[in-house]
Structure 1
């Protein structure tokens, strides 16, 4: 079921981008599903989602459950309104380093990079990091890649790359920034939210997606 769930998550992320749905919370509202329930699916925590949940998503996007969980909708949409194949334009996103993610994690930049990731992105400054360790399971597995789009905005509920001035590197869910504090939530909901003074944050950048190792290539 893990492969099926990973494919469904990938397809839902693609459909959200295609339909200008900014956050998981927004889609949960549109399909009338409790946000915590839908977040568990999209984070990979729920590896055995109920058929009724998948059908709500599929019905909203006017596709079948089979298409949602079995086909790679990022490559070709075989059942669009006109009945014609729809090609998705992929580009080469450079891998800029290796990241040990999580609290007190670190990022090791590589001078010459480490190949590229095939990914659909319009951000000319997009880059990828290879993730190591198991601190972000089940959302990010050892050896997978995060694709970062520095020029993409982010909203509450979006996953972000947060880098602190003391060089901690982590992938979190952005909750808010106010009163001089940034509040983020761990992908693993068993861990409590974290607060950072704005002055301690080096940068926050949008996570466009999680890429499997099979999407990695070399120049």
Structure 2
């Protein structure tokens, strides 16, 4: 097909294998975007290798393609049953305010939060730092609606293209810059929109 020749070449062998499988299944980049709740520019960044596919997204893709999760993306022996969502832990602190999000680890499954009922690919995260204390303490769980921009003053997980994650409170998006707030110590952080790979709204806690 002439359309195939115009497709951008995926940046890595792993991505080429993935998109070969997607196209072989007669699915498109737009289909992938709808599956993950991403717009066209974010899918393009995946192809170019500038936006990492997160572990919970790999799981959705593999289920979508009807195959097992590749060993390189296997997250453990936990089987997520109906009515439950996967619970991830952060891989580790990269600094006092950010954590490594791209390599988060599946540590279990928890009941789906009522606010996640209509959230595709919903998951939960175990809090591991004190930057949002006293609202969230280490060991607590937050429930996430993936790729959903938060409302003003709603908590969120902001993920950069470098793979760093920030559990913060959304303040504003203005003039190409996103501002979020942390509580401990209280401060505001700013990120150019182009540096953001994903925004996940926090819809519950437990």
TM-score normalized by the length of structure 1: 0.48
Residue correspondences, number: 119
SS at 2:130 equivalent: coil
Instruction: Verify: 1:117 aligned to 2:110, yes or no.
Output: yes
Instruction: Verify: 1:96 aligned to 2:91, yes or no.
Output: no
Asked whether the 8 Å contact 1:99–1:130 carries over to 2, the reply is no
Give the drift of 1:151: 5.6
Instruction: Verify: 1:192 aligned to 2:184, yes or no.
Output: no
Structure 2: how far apart are the matches of 1:205 and 1:169? Answer: 10
Alignment CA distance shift 1:99-1:140 (3 Å):
farther
Q: Which runs of 5+ in 1 are unaligned?
A: 1-89, 212-219
Alignment CA distance shift 1:91-1:162 (3 Å):
same
Correspondence for 2:139 among 133, 138, 143: 143
Structure 1: how far apart are the matches of 2:190 and 2:133? Answer: 21
Correspondence for 1:176 among 155, 172, 188: 172
Asked whether the 8 Å contact 1:125–1:151 carries over to 2, the reply is no
Asked whether the 8 Å contact 2:131–2:182 carries over to 1, the reply is no
Structure 1: how far apart are the matches of 2:138 and 2:174? Answer: 33
Q: Which runs of 5+ in 2 are unaligned?
A: 1-81
Correspondence for 1:106 among 88, 100, 123: 100
SS at 1:192 equivalent: strand
TM superposition outliers: structure 1 runs of 4+ over 4 Å: 99-102
